[in-house]
């Protein structure tokens, strides 16, 4: 029996990238740090909130690479002579990725009390119904 993939199904024209997106999402799903929330703030806007306590805005970068939102964090080296009896606050570098659908774009981001908020907006197409003219040869 042959396995039928998303891109090979005859009724799913133009969805070749869907399988790659699913595979990419499955790889990033096992990441556990930093914790995050995703919420719908309206019918067409979303907010991703990441808990990045201890990170400053210059320690964080947000990019969109091939429809993938990538958040990276790297803190500078601690050069102080502090002696920790217990160090439970994570200070490790991270990379967290989210796959964006067509038409979803980043509207902005802000850092507030250790929470990084990234606002997303879905732009709707102007025309929902399109009539195609049938020509003659």
Domain assignment present for residue 128? The answer is no
Give the pLDDT confidence of 47-57 residue by residue, as tens digits: 999 999 889 99
112 part of a folded domain: yes
The one-character DSSP state at 58 is: G
Residue 2 pLDDT exceeds 90: no
* Amino acid 108: pLDDT: 96
Give the pLDDT band (50/70/90) at residue 137. confident
Whether 136 maps to a domain, the answer reads no
The Cβ-side half-sphere exposure at 52, using a 13 Å CA radius, reads 26
Band of residue 129 on the pLDDT scale cut at 50, 70, 90: confident
pLDDT digits (tens, 9 = 90+) for 26-76: 665 556 889 999 999 999 999 999 999 889 999 999 999 988 999 999 987
Rounded to an integer, what distance in angstroms lies between the CA atom of residue 40 and that of residue 46? 4
92 and 44 in a single domain? The answer is yes
Helix, strand or coil, per DSSP, at residue 21:
helix
Contact 64, 71 (CB under 8 A): no
Element spanning 70, H or E: strand 68-73
| Cα pseudo-dihedral 58, 64, 68, 73, rounded to 10 | -10
Q: Let me know whether 108 and 81 are in one domain.
A: yes
54 and 69 part of one domain: yes
Cβ neighbors of 33 (< 8 A, separation 6 or more) are 90, 92, 94
pLDDT at 29: 58
- What confidence score (pLDDT) does residue 66 get? 85
């Amino acid at each position: 029996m042959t396995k039928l993939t998303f891109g090979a199904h005859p009724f799913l024209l133009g969805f070749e990238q869907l399988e790659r997106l699913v595979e990419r999402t499955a790889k990033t799903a096992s990441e556990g740090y930093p914790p995050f929330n995703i919420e719908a703030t309206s019918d067409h806007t979303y907010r991703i909130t990441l808990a990045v306590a201890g990170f400053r805005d210059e320690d964080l970068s947000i990019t969109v690479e091939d429809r993938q939102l990538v958040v990276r964090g790297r803190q500078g080296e601690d050069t102080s002579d502090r002696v920790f009896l217990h160090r439970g606050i994570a200070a490790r570098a991270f990379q967290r990725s989210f796959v964006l659908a067509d038409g979803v774009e980043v509207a902005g981001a802000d850092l507030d009390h250790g929470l990084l908020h990234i606002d997303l907006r879905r732009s709707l197409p102007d025309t929902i119904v399109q009539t195609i003219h049938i020509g003659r040869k």
